Amino acid sequence: MTALLFTNARLIDPETGFDGPGAVRVEDGRITAIAKDADQPTPEGAEIVDCEGKALAPGLVDMRVFVGEPGARHLESYRSAGAAAAAGGVTTIALQPDITPVMDDPALLEFALRRAAETCLVHIAPMAALTKAMEGREMAELAFLRDTGAVAFTDADNAVADPLVLRRCLTYANSLDALVVAHVQDPVFAASGCATEGQFASQLGLPGVPAAAEAMQLSRDLALAKLTGARLHADQVTTADALDALRRAKDDGLTVSAGIAATHLAFNEFDIADYKTFFKLAPPLRAEADRLAAEQAVAEGLIDVIVSNHRPWDEEEKRQPFEAAAHGAAGLETLLPAALRLYHDEKITLPSLWERISLTPAKLMGLDAGRLGVGAPADLVLVDPDAPWTLDRARLHSKSKNSPFDRRQLQGYALKTWVNGKQVFDRAADGVTAA
Amino acid sequence: MADDYAALNRQREKKRTTLRGLTQINLFFENSTRTQASFELAGKRLGADVMNMSVGSSSIKKGETLIDTATTLNAMRPDILVVRHQHSGAVALLSEKVNCSVINAGDGAHEHPTQALLDALTIRNHKGRLQRLTVAICGDIRHSRVARSNIILLNQMENRVRVIAPPTLLPEGVENMGVEVFHDMEDGLKGCDVVMMLRIQRERMKGAFIPSVREYFHLYGLDRQKLAYAKEDAIVMHPGPMNRGVEITADMADDSDCSVIQEQVEMGVAVRMAALDLLARQIPNDAEPDRGREGEA
């Protein structure tokens, strides 16, 4: 492979906090030289990529992505997910085990990885089930699964109800230094409704779930993390009360972290008006005060990670009464612009934002990604952070078009994306290069 | 107009030709005897061809979605669909997918517009006005679309609306919906012109939302003693079907001096005739395939 030289770039490096002009040289899929505040001499035979002053940053690492394969390829295949990720500037997707069959068996995981490697344009980082069939009763084969390639363990949208089971899982996972990702919504409460409880849900006649369902479950899980010393990541923390609990746990020195979906930073409970099922999410959209608290928490780093929580559904699953419709939104292609809004609102700098969407998730899952340093893999995205555009869901690369951002004004997008130094997306061509 | 139809309904000759040639389908995803019968009679008395479909037990269980059912029926070219569904917002969703008129006959815990209209008509018949009255709605407000629709209508007409219920049967945020909240019948009924009782579902009685039927009846069941707290000429209403001895005593329900429950049923037919009549006027008399449709009445 010939060398690549990115010149005239605005480099964004979350590791060092650098945001300034520079150049990057890539050879054999890795970064071999970086010149900050200066240009790099052209090596013989290098292909030059003139960045025209746009932002060159590590590709996004998305910690929560549902892909239908195997079992529901009509919703999203590894190929379509890879195309959507590349178009969204995402170079690593952390697959959730919540598919058919559930990823709780090393042989299944191996098959999935092999299949993905053949068709997916971006890196795959699979999470495996924490308990068998994600039923919350028996521990999955965590060590075997880790050896097969699992980067973390989670029962996805199922919260482990039994504290005995979760405690043992955490203790066992801790001995492997494995990350456990918990869905922090009380399962009994969560099953009792489809919107955040309050006046608005009452007026719509929708069964509500109290926002406290999150703080309750998170507090229990944090207590178990303290008891076991395990590394615990709360998948989505979206309420001010739960954030307070998280802050106390971090102040206590627990090895805990938390994420949030871009949708919960962009929307609040009123967006479900007229029973728009694209806004039916798990957890449900929150009150504006909670949304503001979450923005603040992302800015100061209390929330460590922003995810897309990409959950593709076809029209059949969404064209239903609100209570009967499936929850979740396609998000791979809107993670970047939704996250950039915090930058445009001057709540966060670009390098700090890139910690939340690239470096920190990579670190949590033990991946070598998210850095702009010599030796790092050349997973790169060229971003125009300011370009205004309007999303047309019909033009999404994802097989499923259930985006709540449809027809919304957004700002910023990926111009080009590289994985291991190989270009996988070019916005100018408005498509994805073949795998 | 509903007054006219109420009068018509007391004549020997009740038939009109207002809806002649129109097809009305009553599409009920949730079981209902009186609302369905009421809409059926209303349509027939106006001369429409009325068909009843109870989908609750048939095609939905065969895996057909709400939208499929709607488009299938739509292809049969009905003029008016009367729809009840157990999910909030489902009727509005269905109305987007068909090109005929749709009347909401109750969706989930959201709204039941014709019930609120018939209640309003009944109140006006007895009080001579629909303003500046104090109306208490008692019982399972939380799960009641009747309560929500009545709160909207009565507030719109500038009445004082009170809700009286155990806190477990009140929806969150009800205090911001333009009502006064009471947990005690004596306080809540004081000075009321209208007492509206709601049905309480059997499955919600046994320890889930209230400890027991007898405790509920003791605290919230309407008997003569509790009604005495309200104004002397207060009327008692109930959307039906009643649980005698649970939310209301049998003799209260049958006492024609104060109970207007039977009249509510009568006004129900008249109001629905008026709703159908008004809606039918929007239906153009031509063969255009994409004729305009009105939303929920």
B92 → chain A, closest CA residue: A274
B141 → chain A, closest CA residue: A202
ipTM above 0.90, yes or no: no
Active site residue B62: yes
Which one, of B273, B239, B267, lies nearest residue B41 by Cα?
B273
Separation in Å, CA B52 to CA A423, B25, B45, B81, B115: 61, 6, 15, 10, 19
- Whether A434 has a pLDDT exceeding 50, the answer reads no
Question: Could you read off the pLDDT of A242-279 as tens digits, one per residue?
Answer: 999 999 999 999 999 999 999 999 999 999 999 999 99
What is the reported pLDDT for B202?
Answer: 75
Q: Which residue has the higher pLDDT, B30 or A19?
A: A19
Q: What are the chain A neighbours of B176 within 8 Å (beta carbons)?
A: 199
Catalytic residue among B45, B69, B85, B112: B112
**Main-chain dihedrals φ then ψ at residue A2, nearest 5 degrees:** -75, 160
What mean pLDDT is reported for chain A?
95
Q: What are the chain A neighbours of B110 within 8 Å (beta carbons)?
A: 204-206
CB contact under 8 A, B89 and A322: yes
Rounded average pLDDT over B136-162: 96
What is the reported pLDDT for B282?
Answer: 84
CA distance B36 to A277: 29
Cα angle at A354 between A350 and A356, to 5 degrees? 125
Q: What's the pTM?
A: 0.91
Nearest to A199 among B109, B145, B173 (CB): B173
Q: Hey, which bits of A46-138 come out as E strands? A: 47-50, 55-58, 60-65, 90-95, 123-128
CA distance B196 to B230: 12
B65 → chain A, closest CA residue: A320
Rounded average pLDDT over B192-207: 84
- Whether B60 has a pLDDT exceeding 90, the answer reads no
CA distance B202 to B213: 9
CB contact under 8 A, B87 and A321: yes
CB contact under 8 A, B109 and A207: yes
CA distance A55 to A374: 18
Separation in Å, CA B201 to CA A4, A194, A424, B169, B184: 71, 21, 59, 11, 20
Which one, of A151, A184, A122, lies nearest residue A333 by Cα?
A122
Rounded average pLDDT over A404-428: 96
- Residue B230 carries which side chain, given as an amino acid letter? A
Q: What are the chain B neighbours of A321 within 8 Å (beta carbons)?
A: 66, 85, 87-90, 93, 108
CA distance A344 to A139: 44
CB contact under 8 A, B66 and A322: no
How far away is chain A from the Cα of B113, in angstroms, using its nearest Cα? 14
Contact A61, A91 (CB under 8 A): yes
How far away is chain A from the Cα of B42, in angstroms, using its nearest Cα? 27
CB contact under 8 A, B89 and A275: yes
CA distance A234 to A62: 15
Strand-pair category, A152-154 with A123-128: parallel
CA distance B149 to B13: 33
CB contact under 8 A, A316 and B107: no
% of chain B with per-residue pLDDT over 70? 91
Helix-, strand-, coil-residue percentages of chain A, each rounded to 5: 35, 25, 40
* Residue the block writes with tokens 């109870």: B54
Q: What are the chain A neighbours of B109 within 8 Å (beta carbons)?
A: 205-207
A196 → chain B, closest CA residue: B172
Active site residue B238: no
Q: Which two tokens stand for residue A258?
A: 């938390």
- Whether B125 has a pLDDT exceeding 60, the answer reads yes
What mean pLDDT is reported for chain B?
90
Q: What are the chain B neighbours of A205 within 8 Å (beta carbons)?
A: 88-89, 107-111, 145, 148
Separation in Å, CA B121 to CA B18, B118, B127: 22, 5, 10
Active site residue B71: no
**CA A61 to the chain's CA centroid:** 6
